[in-house]
Structure 1
Amino acid sequence: MEISTFLEHQEKDTQNVKRVKAFYRAAKEKDSETITKLLVDDPVWSVSPGFPDGGIYRGLAEIFHSFYPSLLSRFYYFDAFPDVYIDGGDVVTVLGYYKFIKKEGESSKLVRFSHTWGIDNDGRIKGVWQVADSAQLITSNKTDATDAQSRAAD
């Protein structure tokens, strides 16, 4: 069941929601010019502990040249699929899921997320507070480690 079906949330696209949607599009398209226009000069990403590379990332360099490359290097395929946008004035909360494939040939898995985006007085995105159900990511990592140990013992 899709999250939006569960919540039956029919919010209209406010200016802030449009900005956050534009960010997701620009990120998917790797459009750094649009990303730079949408974000404040020194954005902050707060990635939940337990999530791969969880921590606080400050500034464009840490976010886009440290966090994302490290995260994406762990997967064959990884993408975010936002589903519900909730405008809270100076924040927009997005509910959705990550779809990932650890290794080529494996089946995809889904992990739920919540992103709460801070918006400044000029309408620019200050950053995100990310929370995700990372149990499947952890389980995948433990399974990989157990498989590697079994192969090494053989």
Structure 2
Amino acid sequence: MSNADIIAAHYAASDGGDLAGMLAPLGPETTWTEAAGFPYAGTYTGPEEVRDNVFGAIAKDWDGYTFTLGDLLDAGDTVIGLGTYRGKHRETGRSFTARVAHVWKFDGGKVASFEQIVDSVPVVDAMGNR
């Protein structure tokens, strides 16, 4: 399985609401960075921290939060997913759409890091935090 195939499987799991499948490519040393300015900003290490601080928080705050993959770019040990986030905030009832890039880096066939690059303004606005 290529690095791009591993990330394609992550996104397929996301489409199916399969959190375990989404976390499967992450090892205990994998770092996951949510962008500064994003509501869940920070760097988390390992699947448990990502589950709790990213996906758990999103599930608590949003209805219908999705990532739609537009392009998956295979650059060997770097894989980039370009797409769109959408969701409706539970408290405010406001919806948003935001473009995003995910940069996945591999080391020895394993995910070493994930970095989110996103237009955070629509997300923050939907939360009523601006």
Change in Cα spacing, 1:94 to 1:140, as seen in structure 2 (3 Å) is same
Q: Choose from 83, 88, 94 the match for 1:96.
A: 83
SS at structure 2 position matched to 1:73: helix
1:3-31 deviation digits (Å, cap 9, x = unpaired): xxxxxxxxxxx822111110112244325
Match of 2:123? 137
Residues 101, 118 of structure 1: alpha-carbon distance in 2 compared, 3 angstrom cutoff:
same
Deviation readout 1:49-91 (Å, 9 max, x if unpaired) = 1101101001111111232211331212211111111111211
For 1:141 and 1:34, locate their aligned partners in 2 and report how far apart those are by CA, in whole Å. Answer: 25
Residues in 1 aligned to 2:93 and 2:125: alpha-carbon distance in whole angstroms: 14
Query: Residue 83 of structure 1 contacts residue 96 of structure 1 at CA under 8 Å; is this kept in 2?
Result: yes
Unmatched 5+ stretches in structure 2 = none
1:15 and 1:48 map into 2 onto residues whose CA distance is 26
Q: Amino acid of the residue matched to residue 89 of structure 2?
A: K
For residue 32 of structure 1, what is the aligned residue in structure 2? Answer: 20
CA contact (8 A) 1:115 1:128 kept: yes
The one-character-per-residue Cα deviations of 1:105-141 (angstroms, maximum 9, x if unpaired) are 95743110000001121x2222311011011112223
In structure 2, give the amino acid aligned to 1:124. K
- Structure 1 pair 139/33, CA: closer, same or farther in 2 (3 Å)? closer
Higher gyration radius (CA): 1
Matched with 2:112 is: 126
Structure 1 residues 52 and 91: CA distance shift in structure 2, 3 A? same
Q: Which residue of 2 aligns with 1:9?
A: none
> What's 2:50 paired with?
63
| Residue 43 (structure 1) aligned to one of 30, 36, 41 | 30
CA–CA separation in structure 2 for the residues paired with 1:90 and 1:78: 28
Q: Report the 3-state secondary structure (helix = DSSP H, G, I; strand = E; otherwise coil) of the residue aligned with 2:36.
A: coil
What is the TM-score normalised by the length of structure 1?
0.72
| Matched pairs, number | 129
Which one is further off, 123-132 or 105-114? Answer: 105-114
More strand by share: 2
What's the TM-score once normalised by structure 2's chain length? Answer: 0.84
| One-letter code aligned to 2:20 | S
Match of 2:80, SS state, is strand
RMSD: 2.5
Counterpart amino acid of 2:83? G
